[in-house]
Amino acid sequence: MGEPRRLQSGIVDVDFGEGVTVIEPANIYGCKIADNVFVGPFVEIQKDVTIGARTRIQSHAFICELVTIGEDCFISHGAMFINDPFKIGGPARGDKSQWAETKIGDRVSIGTNATIMPVSICDDVVIGAGAVVTKDITEAGTYAGNPARRLS
């Protein structure tokens, strides 16, 4: 019987601003986190991610490569960001040229267990719990559902 290849999780090669709080365990690497950001436990933030100042990321959130989150945002428990939209009918399987970026504006709140596909979301948006955002959001307001639609 073989032994598994074990990789340590932790905090590696991160550009932290002032006053950042990280509750461990967390897996955060190769990213940039601005001033006064809070990161809860069991969060993964991958390389090439940028998190704006005063943003709060709650436990169990997953922020994959190619995501930019603005300032004063709230990312709730279990929120998931996706960078592989299955352009080829299935997973890119390591072909990062198939991935796409996600850009989140300032003062955006993303609810518990929301899924954010590669999209752009403008400033001053609320995404409801469990919503699935599949298209760009260009108008401030509250969005919910699967797929997410504007409520107000």
Which residues are CB-neighbours of 80 under 8 A, at least 6 positions away? 61, 62, 113, 114, 115, 116
Q: Please state, in angstroms and rounded to a whole number, the distance separating the CA atoms of residues 82 and 101.
A: 9
Catalytic one among 32, 47, 56, 60?
60
Radius of gyration of the chain (CA): 16
Closest by Cα among 104, 122, 111 to 67: 104
Active site residue 60: yes
Helices and strands in the chain: count of H runs, count of E runs: 0, 21
Place of tokens 């002032």: 18
Residues labelled catalytic? 60
